């Protein structure tokens, strides 16, 4: 089939699991013999974050998404033009993106349109343009899209329109948590929950069989942000070192975040007096990271309870690591109920420290704990065996939309309300 996948950002502009999930699905579709085009935004300047090549047919037809950049957001936070731009990009319409997408569809009509993260592209305009196409139209939800749209309505009110358009799309959510969050502004036509998948083949066999020795090494990998729980990780690690002064424990951090947060985290590491035991690796390409996971005993990821899914704990488990992680995340929904390393409250430093101590004192059992965890998760999240077939089944069941010609309605309404807003 002829697939068009749409993601707000794509390599070399990378933030996290959403666009990487889109990339994995695009690759898999291509290997299954489907025709795949990925539509995304331009990535000039600071947005060009990695040198990766993905071998996919990627067309960068949308405006750059600068609004995620901490530095720019901080600089322009009180600027009304920036605020209006952010509102339109995250909760409204960007006419240029609507026109570009409509032109693309008229030249390359797809059979399946699979929308990933629409934030930053003017989600209302993007969704409406998709819903007008005579195709199977789906949205893949790995973030709080409804919540983001609701919080970006300072200049115009799009929630009625958004609710209407949703009813013309089929949705796939990566967790029950996401399904509930994304029905807040109205239901989709159909809404499936299919947990994100991970392919065990991505972990080299040699890594999985290796058992580390020497210093006990914890690892965190993923976005560097407050939401991902890094301050809590560092705090609990410091508590562990205080309670186990004779044990040689290390914490390695892989990833990248905004400059302001990274600066705060550096300060915290100094303040907690653990700088000598923490190694800061920065951004590391995913394949290299996965190759190196065998060097560690356990992963620690204290993700925010609102975390839509959490790829990192899944990848760590597949790599044979025991994972200390929070219970209320999307992936937490499918952890075994008896799993010993689930954290109920990441701000309870004593409790997190105890889980870390348990790892240190039960080092010999960690491999078994990790194997059982992966066995449990693989029965729900094996990308090739379960996840991708479930996606394809959902696509097969998705009806083809009745076409609605032209973007004039959307663009005319947008122009009218933009003009009107200048009179207030």
Partner 1 sequence: MNRERIALISLFPLGNMGGGEFLTLNTLKAVAATGAQCRLYAAQREIPPLQPLNARLTTEFLQVFDSESRQRPASLAFKDVLAACADFDVVWVHQYLSNDLVFDLINTVASDQTLLLTNEGHEPLLGLFNQIYQWSPNHWCVEISNFSRDRAAGYTRQTIGPGAGAWNNQLRNGEQLTRPFRHRACCIGRILPHKGVEISIEGLPNNFELNVVGNPDLDADYSKLLRQTAGGKHIQFLGPLAEAAKTRVLEESDVLIASSCVSLYNGKKIEQAELLGLVLIEAVAAGVLPVASDTSPFPEVMANLGLGEYVYPQRDSGALNRILQRYEALDDQSRTELRRRSQALLRQHYLFDDYWHRVRAAIGMRGPE
DSSP code for 385: I
**413 lies in the binding site for partner 1 (CB under 8 A):** yes
Smaller CB separation from partner 1, 56 or 404: 404
> Given the rule CB under 8 A, which of 104-112, 195-203, 350-358, 400-408 is the region that contacts partner 1?
400-408
**218 lies in the binding site for partner 1 (CB under 8 A):** no
**420 lies in the binding site for partner 1 (CB under 8 A):** yes
Structure tokens at 380: 């729900």
Smaller CB separation from partner 1, 157 or 283: 157
**375 lies in the binding site for partner 1 (CB under 8 A):** no
> Given the rule CB under 8 A, which of 136-144, 151-159, 248-256, 337-345 is the region that contacts partner 1?
151-159
Q: Which of 11, 19, 102, 128 binds partner 1 (CB under 8 A)?
A: 128
CA distance 395 to 421: 40
- Applying the rule CB under 8 A, the residues between 158 and 217 that interact with partner 1 are 158-161, 163-165, 167-168, 186
> Given the rule CB under 8 A, which of 13-21, 155-163, 283-291, 386-394 is the region that contacts partner 1?
155-163
Cα dist from 91 to 42, 84, 192, whole Å: 20, 10, 24
Question: Which residue is it, tokens 């488990």?
Answer: 317
Q: Which of 132, 152, 177, 250 binds partner 1 (CB under 8 A)?
A: 132
Tell me, residue by residue from 349 to 368, as one string, x for binding to partner 1 by CB under 8 A and - for no binding.
Answer: --------------------
Q: In angstroms, what is the minimal distance from the CB of 406 to partner 1?
A: 6
Q: In angstroms, what is the minimal distance from the CB of 417 to partner 1?
A: 4
> Given the rule CB under 8 A, which of 57-65, 72-80, 152-160, 237-245 is the region that contacts partner 1?
152-160
Q: Do 403 and 132 form a contact (C-beta atoms < 8 A)?
A: yes
Smaller CB separation from partner 1, 336 or 409: 409
Q: In angstroms, what is the minimal distance from the CB of 418 to partner 1?
A: 9
Peptide bond into 156 cis (omega under 30): no
Smaller CB separation from partner 1, 171 or 317: 171
**32 lies in the binding site for partner 1 (CB under 8 A):** no
Q: Estimate the crossing angle of helix 311-318 against helix 366-381, to 10 degrees.
A: 120
Tell me, residue by residue from 106 to 125, as one string, x for binding to partner 1 by CB under 8 A and - for no binding.
Answer: --------------------
Full strand arrangement of the beta sheet holding 35-41: 57-62, 35-41, 2-6, 112-115, 136-141, 170-173, 190-193
The residue among 52, 320, 313 whose CA lies nearest residue 203 is 320
Q: Do 334 and 381 form a contact (C-beta atoms < 8 A)?
A: yes
CA distance 71 to 262: 12
**400 lies in the binding site for partner 1 (CB under 8 A):** no
**152 lies in the binding site for partner 1 (CB under 8 A):** no
Binding residue count for partner 1, defined by CB under 8 A: 33
Q: In angstroms, what is the minimal distance from the CB of 150 to partner 1?
A: 11
Smaller CB separation from partner 1, 71 or 409: 409
| DSSP-H helix ranges across 272-407 | 286-292, 311-318, 349-361, 366-381, 388-397
| DSSP-H helix ranges across 211-298 | 230-243, 259-271, 286-292
Burial zone of 281 (CB within 10 Å; 0-12 exposed, 13-18 middle, 19+ buried): middle
At residue 45, the 3 state secondary structure works out as: helix
Q: Do 241 and 233 form a contact (C-beta atoms < 8 A)?
A: no
**337 lies in the binding site for partner 1 (CB under 8 A):** no
Q: Which of 44, 74, 106, 157 binds partner 1 (CB under 8 A)?
A: 157
Cα dist from 107 to 100, 300, 407, whole Å: 11, 47, 15
CA distance 27 to 22: 9
Smaller CB separation from partner 1, 392 or 404: 404
Q: In angstroms, what is the minimal distance from the CB of 100 to partner 1?
A: 17
Q: Which of 155, 328, 345, 362 binds partner 1 (CB under 8 A)?
A: 155
Smaller CB separation from partner 1, 26 or 410: 410
The residue among 166, 193, 84, 126 whose CA lies nearest residue 417 is 84
> What residues make contact with partner 1 under the rule CB under 8 A?
128, 131-132, 154-161, 163-165, 167-168, 186, 404, 406, 408-410, 412-417, 419-421, 423-424
């Amino acid at each position: 089939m002829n697939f068009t996948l749409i993601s707000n950002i794509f390599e070399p502009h990378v933030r996290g699991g959403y666009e990487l999930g889109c990339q994995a699905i695009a690759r898999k579709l291509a290997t299954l013999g489907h025709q795949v085009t990925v539509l995304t935004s331009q990535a000039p300047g600071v947005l060009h974050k990695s040198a990766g090549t993905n071998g996919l047919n990627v067309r960068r037809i949308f405006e750059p998404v600068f609004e995620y950049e901490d530095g720019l957001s901080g600089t322009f936070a009180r600027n009304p033009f920036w605020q209006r731009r952010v509102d339109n990009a995250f909760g409204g319409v960007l006419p240029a993106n609507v026109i570009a997408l409509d032109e693309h569809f008229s030249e390359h009509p797809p059979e399946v349109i699979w929308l990933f993260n629409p934030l930053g592209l003017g989600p209302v305009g993007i969704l409406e343009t998709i819903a007008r196409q005579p195709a199977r139209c789906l949205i893949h939800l790995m973030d709080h899209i409804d919540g983001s749209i609701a919080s970006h309505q300072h200049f115009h009110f799009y929630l009625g329109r958004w609710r209407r358009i949703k009813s013309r799309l089929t949705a796939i959510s990566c967790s029950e948590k996401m399904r509930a969050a994304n029905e807040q502004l109205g239901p989709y036509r159909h809404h499936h929950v299919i947990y994100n998948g991970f392919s065990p083949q991505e972990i080299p066999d040699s890594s999985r069989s290796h058992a580390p020795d020497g210093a006990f090494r914890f690892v965190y990998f993923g976005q560097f942000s407050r939401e991902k729980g890094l301050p809590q990780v560092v705090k609990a690690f410091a508590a562990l070192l205080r309670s186990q002064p004779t044990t040689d424990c290390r914490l390695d951090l892989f990833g990248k975040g905004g400059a302001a947060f990274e600066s705060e985290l550096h300060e915290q590491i100094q303040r907690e007096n653990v700088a000598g035991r923490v190694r800061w690796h920065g951004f590391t390409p995913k394949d290299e990271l996965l190759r190196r996971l065998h060097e560690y005993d356990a992963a620690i990821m204290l993700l925010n309870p609102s975390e839509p899914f959490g790829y990192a704990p899944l990848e760590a488990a597949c790599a044979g690591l025991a994972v200390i992680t929070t219970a209320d995340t999307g992936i937490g929904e499918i952890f075994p109920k008896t799993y010993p390393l689930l954290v109920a409250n990441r701000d309870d430093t004593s409790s997190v420290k105890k889980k870390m101590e348990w790892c240190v004192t039960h080092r010999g059992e960690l491999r078994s704990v990790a194997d059982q965890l992966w066995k449990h998760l693989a029965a729900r999240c094996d990308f090739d065996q379960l996840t991708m077939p479930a996606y394809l089944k959902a696509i097969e069941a998705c009806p083809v939309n009745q076409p609605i010609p032209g973007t004039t309605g959307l663009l005319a309404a947008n122009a009218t309300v933009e003009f009107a807003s200048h009179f207030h």
